[in-house]
Amino acid sequence: MAGDIPFIDLGAQRRRLRQGVEDAILQVVNHGAYVMGPEVAALEAELSAFCGAKHALSCANGTDALGLILMAKGVKPGDAILCPSFTFAATAEVVAWMGATPVFVDILEGTFNLDPASLDTAIATARRLRLNPVGLISVDLFGQPADYDAIEPICAREGLWLLSDAAQSFGATYKGRKVGTIGMATATSFFPAKPLGCYGDGGAVFTDDDELADVMRSLRVHGQGTDKYDNVRIGINGRLDTMQAAVLLEKLKIFPDEIAARDRIAKRYNELLRPMAIVPEVPPGLTSVWAQYTLRIRAFDRDAFQSDLKAAGIPTAVYYPKPLHRQTAYRTYPMAGNGLPVSDRLADEVISLPMHPYLTDEVQDRVVRAVRDALVRQRRVAAE
Ligand SMILES: Cc1ncc(COP(=O)(O)O)c(C=O)c1O
């Protein structure tokens, strides 16, 4: 049996980019502008050209990206911000930072993304609790954009701004619109495991709104004004390191090619696995950047399935075993109606397989064989 395969093969990308990234890093080491150096402005111009957003501001991580937008909007106690529960904690964490209240919304089982009907219920729940619903943070989970055709009219009707948490979906498209241009603003993450990742923490915000961009630029550097020693608002130290910008500039060159590879690999997984599991289907008109490739397997012993795959040298991951409304720090916050049954059920059904642009057919076949063997064994055990 061949050795363990990686869940995400950053080493393969590193081999492809080695010289370019090393030269770029060395250039920063030598020019010495480690904070807000020329690579930061160059990256922001490239990011803006890539997705078409008027303003792209780099920042320290994806959580700060979300936080900067909420700070710029002046989110405050008494405000309710709607967001899904089936997401990474940062989506709701930044709402709590502001003293505001996250109100959790359920998801659609076909896409893992926000359920527009549950959004309506959550808005009513917020109002019943005498909170003021001001905005929605939608999440493009696993790399696939949420159902914006359904979400945007609800936001318009209810007077909510729309912030897109695209930490997992930068590079994806929604019916011809690029992620980064949807809603009032978009936040993304360049955490190393993300489709576009750097060599540490990094993030960015995108908006077409000049005023919002100006305020976020100030907030990112302690709320500085035109005179940098006259701080005009309370901000954060939220800058992206120049070295990370240099790495991202190199990675951005091959990003379109990597997106195409991810898509080819995900489609091949779908063809091979569709007969045995519920595979992630992308609705017509959308593209995903496949931050995760996530199966749903009904009524199964996930722990046994994971250990079978582990024994075959195949790593898997569960995103997310507990939706936020079940987590210690978040369980006291309100949720849509009486509960979030789809989030609860999917937390028990999901399992993510190795996914990255350098997964070969041969390795993918090994993963598929191991999935099939584990499922056959489970069915046998269940029948006994
Ligand atoms: C949906 C979502 N939102 C926000 C974040 C936060 O990004 P970061 O880890 O860069 O702070 C992440 C990534 O970890 C994420 O997956």
Give the tens place of pLDDT for each residue, 41-96.
Answer: 999 999 999 999 999 999 999 999 999 999 999 999 999 999 999 999 999 999 99
Ligand 1 pocket mutation pick from 69, 70, 81, 88 by most atoms within 8 angstroms of CB:
88
Angle between helices 302-311 and 361-383 (to 10 degrees): 130
DSSP state of 237: B
Q: What pLDDT, on the 0 to 100 scale, is given for residue 1? A: 46
| Residue 2, pLDDT above cutoff 70 | no
Which pLDDT band, with edges at 50, 70 and 90, does 299 fall under? low
Which pLDDT band, with edges at 50, 70 and 90, does 316 fall under? very high
Helix (H, G, I), strand (E, B) or coil at 211: helix
Q: What pLDDT, on the 0 to 100 scale, is given for residue 378? A: 86
| Residue 138, pLDDT above cutoff 70 | yes
> Which atom of ligand 1 is the closest one to the Cα of 90?
4
**What pLDDT digit, counting tens, does each position of 168-205 carry?**
999 999 999 999 999 999 999 999 999 999 999 999 99
Distance, CA of 249 to CA of 227 (rounded, Å): 30
State percent of the chain over pLDDT 70.
Answer: 99
139 lines ligand 1 (CB under 6 A): yes
Which pLDDT band, with edges at 50, 70 and 90, does 383 fall under? confident
Kindly give the distance from the C-alpha atom of residue 238 to the centroid of ligand 1, in angstroms, as a whole number.
15
Instruction: Report residue 43: phi and psi, to 5°.
Output: -65, -45
Q: What pLDDT, on the 0 to 100 scale, is given for residue 229? A: 84
The pLDDT of 257-279, averaged and rounded, is 96
- Where do runs of H (alpha helix) occur along 79-147? 90-97, 116-128
pTM score, two decimals?
Answer: 0.97
Task: Tell the residue nearest (CA) to atom 12 of ligand 1.
Answer: 167
DSSP state of 104: E
Which pLDDT band, with edges at 50, 70 and 90, does 228 fall under? confident
